[in-house]
A and B are shown apart, each in its own frame.
Chain A
Amino acid sequence: MTPTYYLLLSALLFSIGAVGVLVRRNAIVVFMCIELMLNAVNLTLVTFARINGQLDGQVMAFFVMVVAAAEVVVGLAIIMSIFRTRRTASVDDANLLKY
C-alpha cells in the first residue's frame, strides 16, 4: 500500500468538492462540498506526515478539524438566518451585496 493512492484519493475528493462548490446552488450542499475539500486536505496532511515519519502534519489536521467545526457553527447559523428571511437557501438568490 503506497502513499500515492491516498494522495490520489485526496485529489479526487478535493476535485469533487471544488466542482460541487462551483455548480451547486443549495447553500447546504455547497457547505458540505467545502467540508469535503477540507477533509481531502486533511487526508493529504496525514499522508505526508506518515511518509516523513513526523507528527507535524497530523497536528495540522487537528487544527483544520477545529477550525472546520467552528466554521460549521457560524456558517450554518448564517444559512439558517438567510433561509428564514428569504425562504430559500439558494446562494444565487442571496446577491444583494454587489456593485
Chain B
Amino acid sequence: MLTAVPPVELPEIGAASGAASLAWLLFVLPALGALVLFVTGRRANAWGHWLGVATVLASFAIGLAIFFETLGLSPEQRTRELHLFDWMSVGSFTVDFGVRLDPLSLTFVLLITGVGSLIHIYSVGYMAPHAGGDGDDDHAEPGGDSSRRRFFAQLNLFVAAMLVLVLGNNFVLLYLGWEGVGLASYLLIGFYQDRPSAATAAKKAFLMNRVGDVGLAIAIFLLWLELGTVQYSEVFERIGEVGAPTLVAITVMLLLGACGKSGQFPLQAWLPDAMEGPTPVSALIHAATMVTAGVYLIARSGPIYNLTETGRLVVTLVGVVTLLIGAIIGCAYDDIKKVLAYSTVSQIGYMFLAVGLGPAGYALGIFHLLTHGFFKAGLFLGAGSVMHAMNDDVDMRRYGGLARHMPITFVTFGLGYLALIGFPLLSGYFSKDAIIEAAFGQEGWQGWVYGGAATLAAGLTAFYMTRLVLMTFFGEKRWQNLKSADGHDYHPHESPVTMTAPMIVLAIGSVGAGAILSGIGLTEWLAPSLGELRESEHGVLPHAVIPWLVVGISALGVLIAYLVVGRRPTPVERPERVSLPVRAARRDLYANAINETFIARPGTWLSRALVFVDNRGVDGVVNGTAALLGGSSGRLRRFQTGFVRSYALSMLGGSVLVIAAMLAVRFA
C-alpha cells in the first residue's frame, strides 16, 4: 500500500487553559529535583531519593489531570499549545519554547511519568546503600555512599529531558530533549564508574547516538532551509512545498536519528552494551521510554512521511531487518539482561515496521510501544530482582529453579513473559498481532516479506523468552554448588516491597494494558495526532487466519525451547563447540566486527593519513623553511674567521666590485 497517501487533516490548534496551563511543571519539576540533588551534595543523601520519587509522582499527577481534562474536549479541540517564551530569535530564525499538548504527547507523558514513577520507587530499594544489590559497598564512593543520590539526580534529569522531547512544539526543542536524554543515558550507563566495561559501554552509546544525532540535526537544517520554520504546526502545513528528493533526504535523515536513539539497524550495537548500567536504568531508559523516542519521532513526523513512499519503505525495511537481528541474537545469549536488550531491539523493530507502514500503522506502533513499555519494564525489573537475589550475577547458566525462592518475581516475570510472546488476550497479543496483521495487509511482495519476517520473529521471540524463563526459574538449582565471583554462596531471596510493588503494578499492566487500550479505543484517541487508522483491504492473507498463524508459530517456538532447554540439563559452562549460526549470534551477528572493519578502522587510517599530512606536509613547510635558514646561516657564519685582514680584504673586494659596477653602468 505504499502509494500516495491522501493528506491527513491537520488539527486546529487551540490555546491551553485550565490544568493544561500547568503543563510546564511537567518537566520543570523533575528538572528542579535533579538540580537540587546535584547541588546539595552529600547533605541530601538521607532524603534525596524520596525527593526524586516525589517530583516524578507530581509530574504524573499533573499529567493525569491534563489527560482527563483533554478527554472532556471534543477530538477537534484536543490539540493545544502553550507558549512559554521565545527561546531564540536570530534574524528570521525564531524558536519558541512552547509545549504541544495533543493525544500523542499526552500518551507519552503518561507512559514516561507513570512507568518512571514505578521505576523510581523500585530504585529506592534496588539502589539502597547497604541492602546488597548494585548499590552495595563495592561501589561506595569515598566520603560516604552518595551513589543513590547521584543515581536519582541523573534519573530525574532523564525524566525531565524525555518530557521536553515529547512535549516540545518544534523540532529544535525536540532536539534539546533528544540530547538531554542522550546525556542522561550516557551518565547512567556509566553509573558504575569503577568498572571499565561500564565506562566503555557509555562511550560507545554516546558515540553511536552521535551518529544518529547528526542525521537528526541535518534533517532539521533541511527543514529550516526549505520552509524557514521548525515549528511542527507550520512544518506540517507547508511540507507539501518541498520537492521530492529533498523530502526523501529529510525522511532518511530523520530515520538515521531515530535509528541511533532506538538501537535500530545499522546503529543497534550500543543498546545491548548499555546493560552495563543499573537495572532500573535498563528498564526505564533502555526498554520503556528513551529507546522508543525514535518511534515517537517518526510518528510525530507522520505528515512528512505520508508524502514519500520511499521514506516509508526505508523505515519499514530497517524495522524488518532489526526485528530479525534482535530475535536471532536473543536466542544465543546467556546474559539475562542482554537477552532482554536484544528483545527490546527486536520489539522496537516491530514498532518501526508499524510506523513505516504510514497511516495504516502509526497508531499500531504507538500501541505496541505502550504495551511494550509495561511488559518490558516489568521484565527488566524482574531481571533486576533476580540479580539482586543472585549476587549481581547475570549468567543464566548459573541460575535455575528460582521459582520457589522468589515467587512474586516469578509470577510477575512470568506474566510479562506471556505478554511479550503474545499469549492470547495478554497485552502483547493485541499490539503485536495488530502489527503483523497490518504487515500482511500490504500488497504483493511487501506483504509477504514484512508479514513473514514479523511472524518468524514472533516464533523466535517465543523461543528465546521461553529459554530464558526455563533457565532462570525452572530445572536444576545449578547455583547450589557454585560460588559467585566475589566468593560468596548464593542465597536467593525475595526482594523488598519497594521492588516487588512496582513489579506487581507493571505485571497487571502487562496483562491488562492491551485489552484496555484496544477496548477504550487508543487509535481513535490518537487520531487527532496521527490521522485515522486506515486498514487495508488488499492484504496477502485474510485477517481471520493471521492470529491463528502467529499464535501457532509462537507455540511452536515455546515447544522447541521446551524440547531443547527444558528437557535437558543446562551445562554451567557455556559450550564452545556450537553450530555456525549460534557462533554468529553470540558475536552479535558480527555487528561490532563490521563496525570495526568498515567504520572504525578506516577512520583510524584516515586520521593517521591526516596526521601524516599534517606532520610532513603542513609542518614540513614550516619546519623546512626554518631548517633551510638555520642551515645556510650555519654555513655563512664560517666566513667570520676572526682574521681582521681577511675582513679587510673582503671590504676591499666589495668596494672594488661596487666601483666596477658603477663604472660599467656609466660607460656601457
Binding site for B on A (CB under 8 A): 18, 21-23, 25, 30, 91-92, 94-99
The complex places the Cα of A94 from the Cα of B641 at a distance, in Å, of: 11
The complex places the Cα of A32 from the Cα of B146 at a distance, in Å, of: 94
Q: Within residues 624 to 648 of chain B, which ones have a CB less than 8 A from any CB in chain A?
A: 637-638, 640-645, 648
B642, B648, B649, B652: which contacts A96 (Cβ < 8 A)? B642
Tell me if B648 and A22 are in contact (CB < 8 A).
yes
Tell me if B643 and A92 are in contact (CB < 8 A).
yes
Residues of A within 8 A of B644 (CB): 30, 91-92, 94-95
Nearest Cβ in chain B — how far from A3, in angstroms? Answer: 20
Residues of A within 8 A of B640 (CB): 98-99
Nearest Cβ in chain A — how far from B608, in angstroms? Answer: 42
Residues of A within 8 A of B649 (CB): 22
The complex places the Cα of A21 from the Cα of B646 at a distance, in Å, of: 10
Binding site for A on B (CB under 8 A): 637-638, 640-645, 648-649, 652
Nearest Cβ in chain A — how far from B165, in angstroms? Answer: 73
Residues of B within 8 A of A97 (CB): 642
Query: 26 A-B contacts, Cβ less than 8 Å apart?
Result: A18-B652, A21-B645, A22-B645, A22-B648, A22-B649, A22-B652, A23-B645, A30-B644, A91-B643, A91-B645, A92-B643, A92-B644, A92-B645, A95-B641, A95-B642, A95-B643, A95-B644, A96-B642, A97-B642, A98-B640, A98-B642, A99-B637, A99-B638, A99-B640, A99-B641, A99-B642
Residues of B within 8 A of A98 (CB): 640-642
Q: Nearest residue in A to B638 (C-beta to C-beta)?
A: A99
Residues of A within 8 A of B637 (CB): 99
Judged by DSSP, the binding face of A is loop
7 further contact pairs, Cβ within 8 A, besides A92-B643, A95-B644: A21-B648, A22-B652, A91-B643, A94-B644, A95-B642, A98-B641, A98-B642
Nearest Cβ in chain A — how far from B656, in angstroms? Answer: 10
Nearest Cβ in chain A — how far from B641, in angstroms? Answer: 6
Q: Nearest residue in B to A19 (C-beta to C-beta)?
A: B652
The complex places the Cα of A98 from the Cα of B647 at a distance, in Å, of: 11
Question: Which has the most chain A C-beta neighbours within 10 Å: B641, B645, B652?
Answer: B645
The complex places the Cα of A95 from the Cα of B645 at a distance, in Å, of: 10
The complex places the Cα of A94 from the Cα of B637 at a distance, in Å, of: 18
Question: Which has the most chain A C-beta neighbours within 10 Å: B637, B638, B644?
Answer: B644
Residues of B within 8 A of A91 (CB): 643-645
The complex places the Cα of A95 from the Cα of B486 at a distance, in Å, of: 81
Q: Nearest residue in B to A18 (C-beta to C-beta)?
A: B652
The complex places the Cα of A16 from the Cα of B645 at a distance, in Å, of: 15
The complex places the Cα of A45 from the Cα of B486 at a distance, in Å, of: 107
Nearest Cβ in chain A — how far from B282, in angstroms? Answer: 74
Nearest Cβ in chain A — how far from B634, in angstroms? Answer: 9
Nearest Cβ in chain A — how far from B75, in angstroms? Answer: 95
Nearest Cβ in chain A — how far from B41, in angstroms? Answer: 67
The complex places the Cα of A95 from the Cα of B640 at a distance, in Å, of: 10
The complex places the Cα of A22 from the Cα of B648 at a distance, in Å, of: 7
Residues of A within 8 A of B648 (CB): 21-22
Nearest Cβ in chain B — how far from A75, in angstroms? Answer: 12
Q: List 5 A-B pairs, minimum CB-CB distance, nearest first.
A: A98-B642, A95-B642, A99-B637, A91-B644, A99-B640
The complex places the Cα of A18 from the Cα of B655 at a distance, in Å, of: 12
Residues of B within 8 A of A95 (CB): 641-644
The complex places the Cα of A98 from the Cα of B639 at a distance, in Å, of: 9
Residues of A within 8 A of B641 (CB): 95, 98-99
The complex places the Cα of A91 from the Cα of B642 at a distance, in Å, of: 10
The complex places the Cα of A22 from the Cα of B640 at a distance, in Å, of: 17
Q: Nearest residue in B to A25 (C-beta to C-beta)?
A: B645
The complex places the Cα of A18 from the Cα of B640 at a distance, in Å, of: 21
The complex places the Cα of A92 from the Cα of B646 at a distance, in Å, of: 10
Nearest Cβ in chain A — how far from B639, in angstroms? Answer: 8
Residues of A within 8 A of B643 (CB): 91-92, 95
Residues of A within 8 A of B652 (CB): 18, 22
The complex places the Cα of A10 from the Cα of B489 at a distance, in Å, of: 117
Question: Which has the most chain B C-beta neighbours within 10 Å: A21, A23, A25, A94?
Answer: A21
The complex places the Cα of A96 from the Cα of B643 at a distance, in Å, of: 9
Residues of A within 8 A of B638 (CB): 99
The complex places the Cα of A22 from the Cα of B637 at a distance, in Å, of: 22
The complex places the Cα of A96 from the Cα of B637 at a distance, in Å, of: 14
The complex places the Cα of A6 from the Cα of B645 at a distance, in Å, of: 29
Residues of B within 8 A of A23 (CB): 645
Q: Nearest residue in A to B652 (C-beta to C-beta)?
A: A18
Nearest Cβ in chain A — how far from B573, in angstroms? Answer: 77
Q: Nearest residue in B to A95 (C-beta to C-beta)?
A: B642
The complex places the Cα of A91 from the Cα of B644 at a distance, in Å, of: 7
Question: Which has the most chain A C-beta neighbours within 10 Å: B640, B641, B648?
Answer: B648
Residues of B within 8 A of A30 (CB): 644
The complex places the Cα of A23 from the Cα of B652 at a distance, in Å, of: 13
Q: Nearest residue in B to A24 (C-beta to C-beta)?
A: B645
Residues of B within 8 A of A99 (CB): 637-638, 640-642
Residues of B within 8 A of A21 (CB): 645, 648
Residues of B within 8 A of A94 (CB): 644
Residues of A within 8 A of B642 (CB): 95-99
Nearest Cβ in chain A — how far from B436, in angstroms? Answer: 90
Nearest Cβ in chain B — how far from A84, in angstroms? Answer: 18
Q: Nearest residue in B to A97 (C-beta to C-beta)?
A: B642
Residues of B within 8 A of A18 (CB): 652
Nearest Cβ in chain B — how far from A39, in angstroms? Answer: 18
The complex places the Cα of A97 from the Cα of B641 at a distance, in Å, of: 8
Nearest Cβ in chain B — how far from A25, in angstroms? Answer: 8
